[in-house]
Amino acid sequence: MQTRILTRVATQPLTHNRAVHITMWVSAFTIATALSAQIRIPLPFTPVPITLQTFFVLLAGVVLGSGWGALSQGVYLAIGTFGLPVFAGGGAGIAHLTGATAGYLLACPAAAYLAGLLAGRELKRVRVYLALLIAGLLILAAGTTWIALLFDWSLDRAALAGFWPFVAGDLVKTVAAAELGLKIGRRS
Each residue's pLDDT tens digit, 67-107: 999 999 999 999 999 999 999 999 999 999 999 999 999 99
Spatial separation of the C-alpha atoms in residues 30 and 69, rounded to whole Å: 9
Kindly state the average pLDDT of the residues 164-176.
98
pLDDT bracket for residue 1 (50, 70, 90): low
Taking the CB of residue 23, how many other CB atoms lie within 10 A of it? 13
Mean pLDDT of the chain: 93
Residue 8: the pLDDT is 52
Q: Is 144 left (phi over 0), alpha (psi -120 to 50) or beta?
A: alpha
Residues in contact with 125: Cβ distance below 8 Å, sequence separation at least 6, in sequence order: 178, 182
Domains of the chain, earliest start first: 16-184 (1.10.1760.20)
User: pTM here?
Assistant: 0.90
Report residue 50: phi and psi, to 5°.
-85, 130
What does each C-alpha distance from 180 to 55, 56, 123, 148 come to in angstroms?
Answer: 10, 11, 12, 34
pLDDT bracket for residue 5 (50, 70, 90): low
